[in-house]
Amino acid sequence: MDEAVERRRFLGLTAAVAALGLTATVSGCGSLGGDSGDVTLKLVAAEYDLTGGDSTKKYWTELAAAFEAKHPGIKVQVQVESWDDVDRKVAEMVKAGEAPDIAQIGAYADYAAAGRLYAADELLSIPVQANFLPRLAAAGEHKKTQYGLPFVASTRPLFYNKALFEKAGVEPPTTWDELAAAAGKLKKEGVRTPFALPLGPEEAQAEAMMWLLAGEGGWTDASDHYAVDSETNVRTFEWLRTNLVGKDLTGPVAPGKLNRKAAFTAFANGEVGMLNGHPSLLKEAAKKGVEVGQVPLPGADGPSKTSMGVADWIMGFKQNGHRKEIGDFLNFAFNDENVLKFAGDNDLLPVTVSASTRMETDPEHANLHVFLKVLPDAQLPPVGKTSWAQVSENVKQNIGKAVTPNGRPAEVLGSIGRVATAAEAAE
């Protein structure tokens, strides 16, 4: 049995053990080589603190200090950048020949395709690699090899304002028709935005994907090829245009101009009846005294059979040749305690089997249990495709046109789909 086959077999066995919650905590073990002398690793990470504080920098600085204490001769230099800038800044570093050793950012596929990243099995011990939730590990693969290591994740249920629902006398919806009916009653009660539909350029690709999945479609088909303008997807956007936007149930801002951040702010201010939610919104709503209800996303005939998952990624760059030291640091970073601390502090979901199992039984994180429940089976965007960045940007700029009063979903989705198919062919 060759080494690759043996490793895959061991990964499968270890994953089974992890699923039972028996995976041993890994703290810097599984080093992939001997001591290599004094090395400084440069880590660039994204800012997660929604309040403008420094909790993200504090997390990484403390993690680096704890790692350095156990690994004499390895220093970690931490640089935290806002989500508005971090992907661009890492790209500029790479282009200038100054790639960081480790980057925690939003996408990995372009760097993997260019041969700039270490594969997961070049960095991680077998127990650590096997401990990732399988759907997330698979989403980190480019051409069947994992390069993107999931860092944190989220899923998206339907959020509703309990006080507004009670006032309007409506129950949480389980189908699209029930959702439209509830939105109509909320409007009659004077709710400014019965349903917030953020299809603006901030994150339209994610909002749209939630609706496509609820309509039993998606960005790709069963063979993982783009299927943007499938009949199922077109029907979903025709329903949105006719039954929500066309009946003036999506508020004063046109969906194509409404960004997620503005929608979330309005929800936290008590101005929105319903929206597709994100874990980070819970804390903001609670600060404003808004009591949030959560249910699975409604589908055409019942609760959506598939939920959307989103992951952010961490990766190791080859440029400086620090494979062993990067591996040591990442093995340490994926210790259960570290994974749980970052996810819990930011109302996000852990990406490993063992940490997820612990969070599921922790009453301190009861508000995240509904998100955790659907994560193992959640469907992620096609982030392993190098074409996805281009396709995603096209969706952000144009998908809102499909739900304008005179919008033609078949034409809008068809245009996006043709560009997607061409980009895929060029990969």
List pLDDT tens digits, range 55-107.
Answer: 999 999 999 999 999 999 999 999 999 988 999 999 999 999 999 999 999 99
Strands 145-146 and 193-195, sheet pairing: unpaired
Global pTM value: 0.82
Question: What pLDDT digit, counting tens, does each position of 378-399 carry?
Answer: 999 999 999 998 999 999 999 9
DSSP-derived secondary structure for 236-282 = HHHHIIIIIITTT-S-SS-GGG--HHHHHHHHHTT-EEEEE--HHHH
Supply the pLDDT for residue 370: 85
Confidence of residue 213 (pLDDT cuts 50, 70, 90): very high
* Interval 320-343: pLDDT, tens: 999 999 999 999 999 999 999 999
Kindly list the structural domains of the chain, giving each domain's residue range(s) and its CATH number in brackets, ordered by start: 3-15+23-155+310-376 (3.40.190.10), 158-306+387-425 (3.40.190.10)
pLDDT in tens, 269-308: 999 999 999 888 998 899 999 999 999 999 999 999 889 9
Q: In whole angstroms, how far apart are CA 235 and each of 27, 168, 215, 413?
A: 50, 29, 8, 11
312, β-bridge pairs: 152
The rounded mean pLDDT for the chain is 90
Integer-rounded Cα Rg, in Å, for the chain is 22
Over residues 127-146, the mean pLDDT reads 96
Closest of 173, 169, 171, 168 to residue 157, by C-alpha: 173
Adjacent-strand bridge partners of 77: 42
Measure CA 64 to chain center: 24
